[in-house]
């Protein structure tokens, strides 16, 4: 039986990871892991599709029973990747894509030597700042906090196997498809 590739897509908040994932979901060669999170659903998010929305207690018991490949705290909520569906999909020869933040990517690196870690970079920090400021609902204080976090996250880029600049969505999608197909 062939074994699929475990691919981690990470990068600073606001860089556009979720747009890339939306396009990749139309590619049958990828299996997408559904994370568990303690944050509340946003309008339109369906339990079991966007995330498994769980309580703090449920998340604690998932940690205790060793269900997570990795988990991390981000913006006041916890997020984690359940092991079982990832292993099942890899065993079926599927490429599994995890769209996670950087602390989680580091845990995958230490547990799965064969994982491919991809860092999505903005064309420049100014462009990232524009994107972050474009989320008009955030207060100036929140924008400043997000920018400070993004600077820290950008410093992790050299820990990754591949860096892909998000000039155009199609280019990034193509880069990921060809990384997945590489022997």
| List of residues contacting ligand 5GP (CB under 6 A) | 13, 17, 35, 39, 70, 72, 74, 79-81, 99-101, 104
Where does residue 95 rank: exposed (0-12), middle (13-18), buried (19+ CB within 10 A)? Answer: buried
Using the minimum distance from each CB to ligand 5GP, give the nearer residue, 56 or 181: 56
Structure-token pair, residue 49: 């599709």
Residue nearest to ligand 5GP (CB): 104
Using the minimum distance from each CB to ligand 5GP, give the nearer residue, 79 or 119: 79
Using the minimum distance from each CB to ligand 5GP, give the nearer residue, 99 or 121: 99
Rounded CA-CA distance 148/51 in Å is 26
**C-alpha pair distances (Å), 7 with each of 13, 15, 46, 86, 101:** 18, 18, 24, 11, 13
Least CB distance to ligand 5GP at residue 103 (A)? 6
- Euclidean distance between the first and the last CA atom of the chain, given in angstroms as a whole number: 15
Using the minimum distance from each CB to ligand 5GP, give the nearer residue, 17 or 94: 17
Least CB distance to ligand 5GP at residue 183 (A)? 28
- Coil, helix or strand at residue 62: helix
Residue 43: partners with Cβ closer than 8 Å, 6 or more residues away: none
Least CB distance to ligand 5GP at residue 127 (A)? 18
Least CB distance to ligand 5GP at residue 114 (A)? 19
């Amino acid at each position: 039986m062939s074994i699929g590739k475990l691919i981690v897509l990470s990068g600073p908040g606001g860089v556009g990871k979720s747009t890339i994932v939306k396009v990749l979901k139309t590619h049958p060669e990828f299996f997408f892991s559904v994370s568990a999170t303690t944050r509340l659903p946003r309008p339109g998010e369906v339990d079991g599709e966007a995330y498994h929305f769980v309580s703090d207690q449920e998340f604690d018991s998932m940690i205790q029973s060793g269900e997570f490949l990795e988990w991390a705290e981000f913006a006041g909520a916890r997020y984690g990747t359940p092991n079982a569906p990832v292993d099942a999909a890899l065993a079926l020869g599927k490429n599994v894509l995890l769209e996670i933040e950087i602390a989680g990517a580091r845990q995958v690196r230490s547990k799965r030597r064969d994982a491919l870690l991809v860092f999505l970079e903005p064309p420049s920090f100014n462009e990232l700042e524009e994107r972050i400021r474009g989320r008009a609902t955030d207060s100036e204080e929140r924008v400043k906090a997000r920018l400070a976090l993004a600077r820290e996250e950008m410093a992790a880029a050299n820990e990754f196997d591949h860096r892909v600049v998000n000039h155009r969505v199609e280019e990034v999608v193509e880069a990921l498809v060809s990384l997945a197909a590489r022997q």
